[in-house]
Amino acid sequence: MKKWRCSTFLDHKEASIPLLNLTPLGGSILYPKTTWCYLSFIFDHKHLFHQHIDFYTNKAISTIKYMKILGNSSRGLNPVQKRHLYRCCALPIALYGFQLWYYNKALLVYLLKKLKKIQRKVVIWITGAFCMSPTAEIKAIAELIPIHLHLQNLYGHVLLWAHSLPQNHIINSLLELRNPNSQESHQLLLNNPIPKQQSSIKGSIVDMDNKFNEVFPSFSPFNHEFSLGNRLINVFPNHFSFHPSNKSNN
């Protein structure tokens, strides 16, 4: 993947990092920058990701504008095709790297405002409604859920996907130890801070650990209760009753 760096410089009043002078070595003077990019993720010194979301929402809007030239010149695209194009082509661009900035206790006002703006442009394009139309109603007509609910759904899948990682994965070594004797303690383990410090920690790792405690508190797939003959329905057959129903009969 191509790497590139932004070229925005800090003001002299804001610059807290000294300049790096490489002229004695035959190089140039390196100036501190407000943002930097690595693997197409745009970072800033406060980790607000405003530049990141601005870049990708503008890129998604440009993609939507180019979609208008698709289809037949006399008929164009129908609303279903427009919605599929948005969900398959434009939305993944706008949400690229959303795991970096979407987590519990994160500041999401500015980021969600930008995403809601792009979704409003999309639903107006899909439905052909007036610009003064209420957003909630035209979203329902276009069959698009609000962007914050879509992000919650995606983030929930990401947290559950992390549970399928192997036990020796670096992410699992940062989570709370369920079995202290199973592996060596990591220096950044979530068990190490005191409870007051744990309450102030925010990030995806904390959300993963909370999700594991919520969904998988004590699940063991090899427990004897899951084997044939030891299930509840086998042990207590007299406590279960089944009533078949006919769907055609109201």
pLDDT in tens, 91-146: 999 999 998 898 887 888 999 999 999 999 889 888 888 888 888 888 888 888 88
Give the model confidence (pLDDT) of 20-77 as tens digits: 777 887 778 877 778 888 888 998 888 889 999 999 999 998 888 888 777 665 667 8
Domains of the chain, by residue range, sit at: 1-45, 49-145, 165-238
**Is pTM, for the whole model, over 0.85?**
no
How much is the mean pLDDT over the chain?
A: 77
> How far apart are the C-alpha atoms of 111 and 180, rounded to whole Å?
39
Q: Which residues of 122-142 are buried (b: 16+ CB within 10 A; e: fewer)?
A: bbbbbbebeeeeeeeebbeeb
* Helix ranges, 13-106 (H): 50-67, 79-85, 91-94
